[in-house]
Chain A
Amino acid sequence: MQIRSPEFKENARTALKEEGLQRALGKLRAGFPEKRAIAVERMPEFHDLRDEARDLKNHILENLDIYLEQFESKVQESGGHVHWARTGDDANKIILDICKQVNAKTVTKGKSMVSEETNLNEYLEANGIQPVETDLGEYILQLREDHPSHIIAPAIHLNLSDVSEIFHEKHGKPKSDDPAVLMQEAREELRNKFVAADVGITGANFLVAETGSTIIVTNEGNGDLTQTLPKTHIVITSIEKVVPTLEDMTLFLRLLARSATGQEFTVYNTLSTGPRREGDADGPENFHVVLVDNGRSEMVGSEFHEMLRCIRCSACMNHCPVYGSVGGHAYGWVYPGPMGSVLTPKMIGIEKAGNLPNASTFCGKCEEVCPVRIPLPKLMRHWRNNEFEKHLSPKAVRWGLAGWGFFAKRPTLYRQLSTASNWFMRTLGGKKGRVKSLPMASGWTDFRDLPTPTDKTFMQQWNDKKEGKQ
């Protein structure tokens, strides 16, 4: 998708004024957090499992090469193929090649954020292959030529009327505002696509090293049809998704569902291990796994290492007051919210994504709910350090900071400055105790009054008292 992260501020301003979006975000704010809280409440060992998951992920990342190679050899043993893609473009080329080998005309797709990262749909279309999204949210977005605004609820920015509108336009059937009718329409449309597809492409939530299995979790079952009906199944996923054993996988599944939707378990948990074996009732004839790096291996051992623990549950964005205010599209690229504010600068460059790690109050809610305890505010702060060191921060910020720092490091001068500022503010506010407009602080006074002091500084008064001047 087109990168719009540099325009974050404008995107946010527009988003705040979009009534439909704000209505949709209102539902999200109330929905996901409450459901998660109930699920967590019902599981006393939840926070212990988070510790376990964090430690296990750390162990995996320290041995990433070993587990990935084990995964590769197990996939090969079961008759599948593993392809290594350093970049998104590499991944797209590999997938196109496979599609060409089987003369594919159409492919069905399960939801995959990695394929959003690589722009796979646009690439396939440009090369004469029609991708069809089968996750309901993704399907709606594809009809609208829109992009996901959330990593597990891609169409969360839309309302029922938007869906009704686009279905009427594209399916040519009478308009309906009944979700059940719309759902049935989508099922009918998609059923034929599932049967006709030459290739099915899915993502993966986890890769199991001991068995060479990939797993996807969905609530719609579209992933099952995408990967079992076509002759060829391609999994596009990223290298940090590997876990050692099936048992380990279940630990993450328990955390994932509860953190994401508040479910105890996702409805469909579908494992794929190689192509169809003799005697299997169904399954693809060819099985490919494309392992995408796209900057991840550079993160190993770096200050952003801990970000690789992410299991893409979306709890951070569901609880983020900034995401809840502006929605996912404002962030301007694939991954929104706190996790996106750490990942996006790595993938598209801090020069373009500088606003993202800055647009946080560091309230810490994201870290509080993260199932693998990623210190997201700390990682966002690393980007701010990085930006400052590269002299990318806006001049006003740098100069303001330098001026303030000069005084803050000199207590005597600082005291004189705070005394003068206090006097200035006090004079300005007078007996009203506040000002309504202050040009040098318009960011503040455009939206709220500025409280002003009504007395001398604490330090002045304290010293006066000490000296008995009272």
Chain B
Amino acid sequence: MSTTNTPVQVGLFVTCLVDMFRPTIGFATVKLLEQAGCTVEVPEQQTCCGQPAFNSGDRETTRDIAKQTIQAFDGYQYVVGPSGSCIGMLHYYADLFDDNDPWKARAEDLKARAFEITSFLVDVMKFDEVLATLEQQFDQKVTYHDSCSGLRQLGVKVQPRKLLDKVAGTELAEMTEAETCCGFGGTFCVKYPDISNRMVSNKTDFADETGAQTLLGGDLGCLMNIAGKLKREGKPLETRHVVEVLAGMTDTPAIAEAVYDLGKQA
């Protein structure tokens, strides 16, 4: 793909959390896509992928949002987003329509074009080889949390690791139960806060045990959950989306970190 002269045309699915809480992830995604030889556009008609409705049993609203998203990304060669969970939702759209519904085929078509960012970079663009030449540097010991939808629905496991391997100075220390859910689960974390708390506490304990300085992952929902818990517990680990490291955009404070060092300011 990256060897052809015509640029690969990508529509960015920003995801609502990235849009509202951490735009850096969006810009890092754009930067990586451009480095990989893509042109990136951000369709105005996108909102949320529809998971809150889908997982709460509201099929009608889910279908409406699915149609809107399908239309918004019509015509793009690829649809890429910095979240396994939201891209996974785009993959579910086809299940929402009956076989004789014309939307079904359109949803299937979207599914074939929709990729989580690290899997797109590695599986489609073979960007890991390119990344090696960019001399990206991040001198830290990191650990990686595998978010559930990306891992089990989309098969995202080796891709972020392959990419991180090409960043100079980064040492990956795997944590116990890296593949176990962090307890975010969308509305789950506020509907069953006590259970969610137990799950995220296990996660932060395992992450801390590795001695890593930064926890990385590919889904902002999980990362906000983990970062919020780390902060509450006073654990020193920082939390970032993996694309921030890959794109060399780590000058912004990590998730839930102060804009300036409050201690030093005082």
CB pair B260 A431 closer than 8 Å: yes
Query: A453 vs B257: C-alpha distance in the bound complex, in angstroms?
Result: 10
Please indicate the chain A residues that have their CB under 8 angstroms from the CB of B14 in the complex: 458-459
Bound CA span A383–B35, Å:
45
Contact B232 A447 (CB under 8 A): yes
Q: Which residues of B contact A385 (CB under 8 A)?
A: 57, 59
Residues in chain B near residue A322, CB distance under 8 A: 192, 195, 199
How far is A149 from B260 in the complex, measured between Cα atoms in Å? 50
Report how far A451 CA is from B223 CA in the complex, Å: 10
**B61 interface residue per 8 A CB criterion:** yes
Q: Are B42 and A462 in contact (CB under 8 A)?
A: yes
Asked if A362 is at the interface of the complex by the 8 Å CB criterion, the answer is yes
State how many angstroms separate the Cβ of A469 from the closest Cβ of chain B: 15
Question: Which residues does chain A contribute within 8 Å of B44, judged by CB atoms?
Answer: 411
A368's contact among B55, B152, B186, by CB below 8 Å, is which? B152
User: Which of B15-23, B104-112, B113-121 has 4 or more CB atoms under 8 Å from chain A?
Assistant: B15-23
Which B residues fall within an 8 A CB radius of A? 14, 16, 18-24, 26-27, 42, 44-48, 50, 52-59, 61, 64-65, 68, 72, 148-149, 152-153, 179-181, 183-200, 202, 224-225, 227-229, 231-232, 252-253, 255-260, 262
Q: Which of A384, A448, A449 contacts B56 (CB 8 A)?
A: A384
In contact, B253 and A447 (Cβ under 8 angstroms)? no
Determine whether the beta carbon of B185 is less than 8 Å from that of A361.
yes
* Chain A residue nearest in CB terms to B255: A451
Give CA–CA (A113, B193) in the complex, Å.
31
Main secondary structure of the interface of A (DSSP, over half): helix
- CB of A414 within 8 A of CB of B198, answer no
Which chain B residue has the least Cβ–Cβ distance from A407?
Answer: B47
Please, could you name 29 A-B residue pairs with CB atoms under 8 Å apart, sorted by A?
A: A9-B192, A13-B194, A325-B198, A358-B192, A361-B196, A363-B180, A367-B152, A381-B55, A385-B59, A386-B57, A397-B191, A401-B61, A404-B52, A404-B53, A409-B47, A409-B61, A414-B47, A422-B20, A431-B262, A434-B231, A443-B189, A448-B200, A448-B229, A454-B252, A457-B19, A458-B23, A458-B27, A459-B19, A462-B42
**Minimum CB distance partner of B220 in chain A:** A451
Q: Which residue of B lies closest to A459 (CB)?
A: B19
Q: Are B227 and A451 in contact (CB under 8 A)?
A: yes
For A, the interface residue count at a CB cutoff of 8 angstroms equals 64
Interface centre among A387, A404, A407, A421 (most CB of B within 10 A): A404
Q: Smallest CB-CB separation from B223: which chain A residue? A: A451
Q: What residues of B have a CB within 8 angstroms of the CB of A404 in the complex?
A: 52-53
Given contacts A405-B53, A434-B257, 8 further A-B contacts (CB under 8 A): A13-B194, A321-B199, A363-B152, A386-B57, A409-B65, A447-B193, A453-B20, A459-B14
